[in-house]
Amino acid sequence: MRIRLIWAIISIILEEIAIAVVALMVLPNYDINIPVIVLVLIMIGWLVLSVLLFIVGNRALLREPVNDPEAIIGKRGVAVEEINPQGLVKIQGELWGAQSAEKIAIGEEVIVTGYSGIKLTVTRLDTSADKDE
């Protein structure tokens, strides 16, 4: 984590220097002059984008992967591809191949009932039963 943070800081500094060099030394050779305030706004925008990408990427790298399909039996997910009889579901932020005896549309909630190899068996989550309780 610490090395990743140090590398991110170094790379952001180098990117900001590159933006400044291009705007102040290269573009004027082609009669393109960027006002200083615009350059500052571009650099701030790039800094914010870089920090946000680092945060999102770091969270993804630190998240514990699910590599045992048995561990997610009973978990809820969402169909990201129509399942008829096979498709894709997203469970705990990960995409899994899935199969179902029923047709499940994109965006419907599913629950994992089993697995075969690395393909999950899912059924449509009965939301009417949840509302009755």
pLDDT at 78 over 70: yes
Between 132 and 32, name the one with better pLDDT. Answer: 32
69-127 belongs to which CATH class?
Answer: mainly beta
Mean pLDDT of 58-70: 77
Other Cβ atoms closer than 10 A to 92: 14
Contacts of 15 (CB under 8 A, 6+ apart): 46, 50
Cβ–Cβ under 8 Å, residues 129 and 80 = no
Determine if the pTM surpasses 0.85: no
Give, as one character, the DSSP assignment of residue 3: H
What is residue 131's predicted lDDT score, i.e. its pLDDT? 47
Please state the three-class secondary structure of 21-87 as a single string. HHHHHHHHHHCCCCCHHHHHHHHHHHHHHHHHHHHHHHHHHHCCCCCCHHHHCCCEEEECCCECCEE
Render pLDDT for 109-129 as a digit per residue (tens, 0 to 9).
999 999 888 889 999 987 655
pLDDT at 95 over 70: yes
What is residue 94's predicted lDDT score, i.e. its pLDDT? 85
Domains of the chain, by residue range, sit at: 2-62, 69-127
